[in-house]
Amino acid sequence: MDSPFKTIGLIGKPNHPGAAATLQRLHTFLLALGFAVIVEKRTGGQLVDVPNNKLVKLVDLGEQADLAIVVGGDGNMLGAARVLARFDVAVIGVNRGNLGFLTDLNPEGFEPSLEQVLSGDFIEEKRFLLEVEVYRHNELKSANSAVNEAVLHADKVAHMIEFEAFINHDFVFSQRSDGLIVSTPTGSTAYSLSGGGPILTPELNAISLVPMFPHTLSSRPLVVDADNEVRLKLSLENTDSLQVSCDSHVVLAVLPGDEVVIKKADKKLRLIHPKNYSYYNVLRTKLNWGSRLY
């Protein structure tokens, strides 16, 4: 097959029988088309007849593959995307989860759509990530990235915290609440949406700040240009340890008096869709917008 991709990496949902079956079908399908196939090591054990030299770490897969296929739900896609965004590798998903906003292909009949993509007939999007840094006494203590959102919160459920928010060193508000969700357009249909945040279409260069149960009725979500830098200064009055969660996967510890800096990351995720992909169709389907009102 004449294709813009030569080496394809497979990433799956560990210990999931359905994902394992889809990975096996993908592996057989891609080899039959003549592609070089490598498999992420943690999930490679679910496949048969994969040589050891084709089982690689996720970072090595990002360095070697032209296209990565993620089998699982949005959580699996997010975990892989945070790493793969460092490399110029295209990423597409096969949905083996629940909602699947980021995983387009149907596991029951992915072959025709995937073959179309492999022939070069696809839609490509660049999705930006957030870079999250925690400073203590002006010293960087920890950092990570987020595809969906960075969430400042207490390490206890329903526990109020106090902080100040700045945009580019310009004071915006002080707040007592359960926390704050800082979301990308990609994450605007995830935790942010559940918290009452706006849906941001993927092409927008914007981030949203969504308060979590604020101790005032006047506090509302705020959308700002993504080239701005968000700074959250934690009050010394906070008595408990705090956290910043990145995509609900990575947790950075925060102490009273720390400063959290959230900004757009330099690297972007290359997300691949089949040619018939429509973001608004995804919204209608996943959010059940197409149902009758009466």
Catalytic residues, by residue number, are: 74
| Cα maximum dimension of the chain | 63
Contact (CB, 8 A) for 242 and 154: yes
**Do the annotations mark residue 203 as ligand-binding?**
no
Contact (CB, 8 A) for 240 and 156: yes
Pairing of strands 242-246, 149-154: antiparallel
**Do the annotations mark residue 148 as ligand-binding?**
yes
**Do the annotations mark residue 201 as ligand-binding?**
no
**Do the annotations mark residue 225 as ligand-binding?**
no
Q: Which of 279, 260, 11 is nearest to 151 (CA)?
A: 260
**Do the annotations mark residue 60 as ligand-binding?**
no
Distance CA 23, CA 19 (A): 6
**Do the annotations mark residue 74 as ligand-binding?**
yes
Distance CA 51, CA 109 (A): 26
**Do the annotations mark residue 293 as ligand-binding?**
no
Whose structure tokens read 């705020």?
A: 222
**Do the annotations mark residue 97 as ligand-binding?**
no
**Do the annotations mark residue 216 as ligand-binding?**
no
Cα angle: 48, vertex 49, 55; to 5 degrees: 90
**Do the annotations mark residue 113 as ligand-binding?**
no
Q: Which of 60, 72, 53 is nearest to 12 (CA)?
A: 72
Give the residue ranges of the annotated binding site.
74-75, 148-149, 159, 176, 178, 189-194
Binding residues for NAD(+): 74-75, 148-149, 159, 176, 178, 189-194
